[in-house]
Structure 1
Amino acid sequence: MATKAWFHAVVTGFRKLRDLKDRGDKFETLESLMSFRMGSAPNGGTVSHLMCGNSSGWKSCPERGLNICPHCRLIKYCSEKCKNQHWAKHRFHCMHPYLSDTWEPSWIADRRDPAFLHPSTGMTLFRQTVDFWGDLPAIDCFQLANNEGYNNAEPLPDLKLCFAASGNLRNLIRTINALPVDYTGYCDVLLNETDPILVNRNLLILFVLLSPGPSIEEAAEFCVHLVYSAALPAAGADYLQRCVNFIYACRGEFEADLSFRRCLGTRGEGHVYCVQPSAGVKRPLEMFHSNYTLSAAVQSMKETTLAADRLDFREKSLAKLKPAHRMASQRFRESGILAPFSLNTNNFTQPNRLLFSPQGTWMVPEDANALFGWDLGVVRNSGIKHGTSPEDISGCLFFHVKNELRDFARRVKELKIDIHLTSFAPTILAKGIAIGAMPGFEDASFDRISTSNLVDSIGLRACLSDWGPLLNRENKFATLLAHTKSWHSQPPPPHAAQHWGPRAMKLLEAKCHTVPGLDVKMKTVFAQGLRSPALCRIVDSLSAFHDNEPEFQEYLNDQNAERSAAAFDLRLRSTHRVHPKRLGMPLNAPKWQRLPDLSSNEFYDLFIIGGANLPVRFLEFEGIGRTEYD
């Protein structure tokens, strides 16, 4: 039996090789015929297309999912036979109230005020959380077509990029994936983050994805789960432990000088470097070497994702979603595994120790969502190409993230890219770079510096003081990027309904009275007040359609933005060349455009289900003396 299985695996591998050759694709070396059995399929294989949803226990139909369930539109079957066999199991989800167009939050049926209108109630006990996933769409920090590659017949130069305070890999991946496939220069990236948990988590993910071993296809699929899933396939968890042992085996060698340093090879010419204080490695290693069970981990996760005292907050979010998206979102909260809705995940038998504390406590924030920070329009298109229905948002995201990770690994293999991970306070790191103490960046200059929202914590002038001198003045396109989430003189509380309150109600009612017939249709909505899910949706979206330019200019004046920039030979750009001033606006928006110009579907994709932070504003600084497109 074992011989037969081995023979089948070899034949399958050669068929894959033949298929790749027939399609003219560039395939890997012999590693493309090997499998570490870390994939998402029940047999440990990778998932390249949507599989039939008929499964029972460890058994699953291996055929493609072709015929969609007409009611839920979340699952596909290869045949009517499989659909009928699976109905007894599927009916629980297919007939769920969340899929009804008439579903309403429980506070409506109970005739009570929802808990979010009384913030002193319904609060869970404090627990340590880590911002693993973020809430801003990934950006290409180079935008070469609009900068170094703009009207330039010369080869693109070597590039250096610094993320001064970012524990999220998405901007790094998006930027590298946007490099031309024929880029011949060197690209050096510095990724700094003060939280040692995020730094060491990123180190492990990059090592699994970029180092020789599993095929790029398998490594990318496994890394999807390292990033987002609460559980892992057993073979993948074992491989992760081997990676942990390899990376940290030499820890004792560096404890004498209080620093941990590693240089790890990749599939290409580049390397992944890591420099951090030795003390910072202790807690991450406790996480990686912990021994709690999957059942304990899942219980901890559900105490957060399905907490009874947070029901109103969850249903407030669910009420904004389309019915199928509600069901898909709830499924992810229940399972904790980012995968197509129909995928049999019984082989996910080990906890993902990159998302739990050493004691097995779920460390992801309660309001975090895997889709936050992704544009559903792009995600949906990726899923459709792999056979996933657009309603299965988790399945679409699974395939999209896998594609992004796979493209990133291929770029690192084929181009000349070095990645440096550090864990220092940004101000200290900037001073160290300035004196040439950072290996690989002795010239102390970068073509792009992304400071994230450091201006919120240390102020604009301090941020420019630290990082402005490190901008490459030989590159006329060099840019210092910043964004601010709390630029408001009085930051809104977490729930917009509380922020706008009665003032928003009066504004909306007055607006409705000016539109013939609308005041009649909205009468019932206004009668319910902020208990109305429809009104909550409107109120939570007001920030996107509020022209906050005058208030933002007041913020810049309070920060002495122009004078602070000039003190370090910088100026604030009036026309951006890397990222729009606000989310939902094109980069080339005319100067008079101050608000997003989005269709209702685009708004839903980016802000509602994508969770993009509405009021955030972006800033770009360049060296003095540069002119637009000079």
Structure 2
Amino acid sequence: MNEGAMSLDRDFAIAYPVSGDIRNIVQTVNALPEDYSGNLTVLLSDVDGILVARNLLLLAVLGSIDDSAQAAEIALHLWYSAFIRPTDVAVLCHIIGSLLEQMVHGDSVTVKLWEQFMPADSFSIQLGKHSILKGALARYPPSNDPSHPNGGLCCAQTHLMDFQEFNMKLNELDLKEELDHAFKSMHDVRFDPSRADFHDRRGCYLEQPSHRLADFKFRKMGIVLPFGADNGDFCIPNRTMFSADGKWLSKDTADPLGSWNIDDIVLAGQARGAQTEDLYGCLYFYLSDQLRTFAERLKHFRITFHLLDAPSTAVSADIRAGTLEQLGLPKTISFDRIDVSSEIDTDAFNVLADWAPLLSSTNSHATIVGHFLAWTRRGDPPISSIGEVMARLYEEQAFHYRSPATVIVLKKYIHARWENSGPFAEYLETRYTKQNAKKAGVQLKHKHTVVPHRVCTPIDGASNMLPVFKDKNSMYLNICVASTPMSERFVEFCRL
């Protein structure tokens, strides 16, 4: 914990105004000291209604089911598997029904009453004895203007109702027909002939045949399970991954392996007896451990979650105006951590202007965190640096120089061994990042305390530090298997 030993009983508030999923929340809560006794407030918001609906269900499942192992199992597949089990659906229907009863004006939640649905209602779910999840959905109605932050998106309530309606009609549907349709929709994206070259290149990155097989099987089946595990019960499409008319929503490149620390994934699998070749089996055991720990901590920590489906700029404006006070977010609230994700790269001026005023002025450790991905499109190393990078790779014997895949994989390794702090600093200057920060009352932190400057480096590492790998296999796992974006850079801001 980076707040010091005296912070074990302090209250903290964290904001994720662009929370596409709950990865960072899970990792943050799991990293808290076991004897932490303060109150933790977590604000979650995203403009994409289906992501908010999934996050809502994940938190509700993990916090409201007494058996943490069962909760983790359901949450794991809801989050990452394209198909789930009838038993999972029964649990989710019960949770969604309870939610909609709080949001719908009527005597009960039935399909007949959905036409009377009134938006902007709040909800509250108890997560164990001490934690609570509350918020309001559809407070910011989607816009018909495609350029609007909410343009073309449905609110989370709509997705919850679609999910519930589909599941309530399961007895009337031809499950085989639904399953076949879902598989076809997923395969149309994941095995699109126009993307064959990309996946062939991906196969070249994967040196081990077993890794290529694991990658192919996950693309084909879409279920996170150990290799050879019985998946016969996974017969119902996960409606958080399909549109209301059954279209697959994710890209063909979406892969949960790249969402977590691949070294930790492999270690977790080995601890459970999984082979390192079984990538998604290792992922299954890793996620099971993480989600079980998170579920247990929800039950004995004091955590209050506030969930909204709204643009980040609207949320910050409403907090400062005091219009979210009835939801437990008074205008006086300030946050010890604010994670603005990649929005800092697209619109640093407005993001900092929106959220810097909400950064705590009493906590010297208070930090705004963001990361830059778009800069890598122009972040290739200059010709003058190639010789130095190649010499470093040759010295490390990073890969097989005589392999036919060398040319294809070479660029990924070059980015991992190129020291890019200088070009990144120049990029920040072209975006007037320092000036925009100063106008908002914050400044870039040269010494990071929350996230590293760069992936695969320690938090306290220097900005010019190269990614660190414990061995050659770790380098391969991070660069080729998890496809970790080695040029990605992180920034931190603190108050002036």
State the partner residue of 2:278. Answer: 392
C-alpha spacing 1:154/1:412, structure 2 compared with 1 (3 Å): closer
CA pair 538-271 structure 1, distance change in 2 beyond 3 A: same
Aligned to 1:570, which of 422, 437, 442? 442
Distance 1:603 1:285 in 2: 44
Instruction: Supply the AA of the counterpart residue of 1:230.
Output: A
Partner of 1:540: 412
Distance 1:253 1:581, change over 3 A: same
Contact 2:389 2:418 in 1 (8 A): no
Distance 1:515 1:581, change over 3 A: closer
- Counterpart-to-counterpart distance in 2, 1:551 and 1:504: 13
Contact 1:259 1:276 in 2 (8 A): yes
Match of 1:271 in 2: 132
Q: Which AA in structure 2 matches 1:231? A: F
1:293 corresponds to which of 173, 178, 199:
178
Q: Distance in 2 between matches of 1:182 and 1:225?
A: 30
Does the 8 Å contact 2:104/2:118 carry over to 1? no
User: Displacement of 1:509 after TM fit?
Assistant: 12
SS in structure 1 at match of 2:205: coil
* 1:295-336 alpha-carbon deviations (Å, 9 max, x no partner): 211122122223333222112112111221111111112221
C-alpha RMSD of the superposition: 2.8
Residue in 2 aligned with 1:318?
Answer: 203
Distance 2:394 2:277 in 1: 34
Q: CA deviation at 1:557?
A: 1.7
- State the shift of 1:202 in Å: 0.9
| Correspondences of 1:200-349 after superposition (within 5 Å) | 200-212=53-65, 215-253=67-105, 258-277=119-138, 279=141, 280=155, 281-290=157-166, 293-321=178-206, 322-349=208-235
TM-score (normalizing by structure 1):
0.67
Please state whether the residue corresponding to 1:264 is helix, strand or coil. Answer: strand
Aligned residue among 442, 450, 455 for 2:344: 455
Q: Is the 8 A contact 2:453 2:462 kept in 1?
A: no
Q: Deviations over 1:18-43 (max 9, x none)?
A: xxxxxxxxxxxxxxxxxxxxxxxxxx
Q: Is the 8 A contact 1:262 1:274 kept in 2?
A: yes
Tell me the distance in 2 between the aligned counterparts of 1:209 and 1:217.
9
Change (3 A) 1:160 1:511: closer
Distance 1:205 1:184, change over 3 A: same
CA contact (8 A) 1:436 1:444 kept: no
1:421/1:362 CA distance change after superposition, 3 Å: same
Q: Is 2:479 the partner of 1:618?
A: no
Distance (whole Å) between structure 2 residues aligned to residue 228 and residue 266 of structure 1:
22
Shift of 1:366: 0.5
Deviation at 1:561, TM superposition (A): 2.7
**What amino acid is aligned across from residue 464 of structure 1 in structure 2?**
L
SS of match in other structure, 1:364: coil
The CA distance in 2 between the partners of 1:616 and 1:157, in whole Å, is 33
**Distance 1:505-1:153 versus aligned 2 partners, 3 A rule:** closer
Return the offset for 1:287: 4.4
The SS at the match of 1:595 is coil
Q: Which residue of 2 aligns with 1:431?
A: 317
**Which secondary structure state, in structure 1, belongs to the residue aligned with residue 235 of structure 2?**
strand
User: Is 1:382 equivalent to 2:268 in the alignment?
Assistant: yes
Q: Is contact 1:211-1:266 (8 Å) kept?
A: yes
SS at match of 2:409: helix
Letter of the 1:232 partner, please give it.
I
Q: Name 1:414's counterpart in structure 2.
A: 300
1:154 Cα deviation after fit? 6.1
Q: Measured at CA, do residues 510 and 225 of structure 1 come closer, stay the same or move farther in structure 2, by a change above 3 Å?
A: closer
Task: Give the Å deviation of 1:399.
Answer: 0.9
**Residue 479 to residue 310, structure 1, CA distance change in 2 (3 Å):** same
CA–CA distance in 2 between the matches of 1:587 and 1:506?
26
Which blocks of at least 5 consecutive residues in structure 2 are unaligned?
A: 107-115, 142-154, 167-172
Q: Are 1:609 and 2:481 counterparts?
A: yes
- Aligned pair in 2 of structure 1 residues 537, 403: CA closer, same or farther (>3 Å)? same
- Count of residues in correspondence between the two structures: 454
Equivalences for 1:442-521 in 2 at 5 Å?
Answer: 442=330, 443-458=332-347, 460-487=348-375, 491=378
1:604 and 1:610 map into 2 onto residues whose CA distance is: 9
Query: Hey, what's the Cα distance between the residues in 1 that align with 2:97 and 2:59?
Result: 15
Cα deviation for residue 159 of structure 1 reads 0.5
The letter of the residue matching 1:468 is: A
Q: Distance in 2 between matches of 1:325 and 1:450?
A: 33
Deviation at 1:252, TM superposition (A): 3.0
Deviations 1:483-527 (A, max 9, x none): 111135x647xxxxxx89xx9799579968x989x9xx96x77xx
Conserved in 2, the CA contact under 8 Å of 1:177 and 1:407? yes
Consecutive unaligned residues of structure 1, counting only runs of 5 or more, are 1-143, 493-498, 526-531, 625-630
SS in 2 for 1:555: helix
User: Are the counterparts in 2 of residues 377 and 605 from structure 1 also a CA contact under 8 Å?
Assistant: yes
Q: Would the aligned equivalents of 1:191 and 1:419 in 2 still touch at CA under 8 Å?
A: yes
TM-score (norm 2): 0.85
Q: Does the 8 A contact of 2:102 with 2:122 survive in 1?
A: no
- What is the rounded CA distance, in whole Å, between the counterparts of 1:574 and 1:363 in structure 2? 39
Partner of 2:111: none
Residue in structure 2 matched with residue 582 of structure 1 by the alignment? 454
Range with greater deviation from structure 2 (242-251 or 333-342): 242-251
Contact 1:196/1:284 (8 A) holds in 2:
no
Aligned to 1:123: none
Find 1:177's aligned residue among 30, 41, 45: 30
**Deviations for 1:105-159, whole angstroms, at most 9, x for unmatched residues?**
xxxxxxxxxxxxxxxxxxxxxxxxxxxxxxxxxxxxxxx2xx322xx44644100
Cα distance between partner residues in 2 of 1:398 and 1:266: 24
What letter corresponds to residue 467 of structure 1 in structure 2? W
**Aligned partner of residue 104 in structure 2, secondary structure:** helix
Change (3 A) 1:211 1:476: same
Rounded Cα–Cα distance in structure 1 between residues aligned with 2:42 and 2:389: 52
Q: State the partner residue of 1:69.
A: none
Cα distance in structure 2, aligned partners of 1:506 and 1:194:
41
Residue type at the aligned position of 1:296: H
Q: Which one of the candidate residues 466, 469, 483 is aligned to 1:595? A: 466
Please report how far the alpha carbon of residue 382 of structure 1 lies from its aligned counterpart in structure 2 after TM superposition: 0.9
* Amino acid of the structure 2 residue aligned with 1:265: Q
Equivalents in 2 of 1:510, 1:272: separation in Å?
49
Equivalent position amino acid for 2:369 in 1: L
**2:52 partner amino acid:** V
Larger radius of gyration: 1
Which position in structure 2 is the counterpart of 1:199? 52
Partner amino acid, structure 1, of 2:335: F
